[in-house]
């Protein structure tokens, strides 16, 4: 997930992203990793608590029977993937067998990813306005002018 966060954070820079900023992002990610892991953990717990608060308490046996209809679980050897759709959002968990229990190794949810990126952006260089001398911006500006003069 750290790679996805780094990619999405870089994407927020848009036209201002250059090799120097990319190096700063790449250099900051290892230092941010412990906080990133904690933020991801907190966001996942928050999502679970939010989901649980919207449902009424059910007997354990009911939950065992309902889980297969709430999510799709596939296993292949010592790996498993659980996918569910909640409130129109698809959430995926990848898990790896760790002795007698399962360890979550991957979590995919666009809403949580965006929240984590928002958090990480506070630690990265400020986003500047695009450089007016950029050849790309000059081409865009020339293209707009030529269309207006038609």
Cite the DSSP H helix spans in 12-149: 19-54, 60-70, 110-121, 135-148
Check pLDDT > 70 for residue 135.
no
**Residues 84, 87, 90, 93, Cα dihedral to 10°:** -50
Confidence of residue 78 (pLDDT cuts 50, 70, 90): very high
What is the predicted pLDDT for the residue at 136?
Answer: 53
Distance CA 139, CA 150 (A): 17
Digit-coded pLDDT (tens) for 83-133 = 888 778 888 888 899 888 888 888 888 888 888 888 888 888 777 665 555
Q: Taking CA 24 as the corner, what is the angle to CA 105 and CA 1, rounded to the nearest 5 degrees? A: 10
| Contact predicate 125/21, CB 8 Å | yes
Total-model pTM: 0.60
Please report, for the chain, the start and end positions of each structural domain, with discontinuous segments joined by +.
2-148
Q: What is the mean pLDDT of the chain?
A: 77
What is the predicted pLDDT for the residue at 31?
Answer: 84
Digit-coded pLDDT (tens) for 22-59 = 888 888 888 888 887 888 788 878 877 776 676 677 67
Of the candidates 114, 113, 71, the residue with the CA atom closest to the CA atom of residue 95? 71
């Amino acid at each position: 997930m750290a790679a996805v966060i780094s990619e999405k954070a870089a994407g927020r820079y848009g036209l201002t992203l250059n090799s120097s900023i990319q190096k700063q992002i790449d250099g900051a990610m290892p230092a941010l990793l412990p906080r990133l892991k904690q933020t991801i953990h907190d966001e996942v717990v928050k999502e679970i608590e939010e989901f649980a608060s919207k449902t009424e308490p059910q007997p354990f046996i009911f939950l065992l029977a309902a889980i297969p209809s709430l999510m799709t679980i596939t296993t292949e050897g010592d790996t498993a993937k659980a996918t569910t759709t909640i409130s129109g959002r698809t959430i995926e968990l990848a898990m790896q067998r760790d002795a007698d229990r399962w360890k979550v190794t991957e979590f995919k949810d666009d809403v949580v990813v965006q929240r984590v990126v928002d958090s990480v952006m506070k630690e990265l260089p400020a986003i500047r306005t695009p450089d007016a001398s950029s050849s790309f911006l000059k081409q865009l500006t020339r293209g707009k002018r030529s269309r207006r003069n038609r």
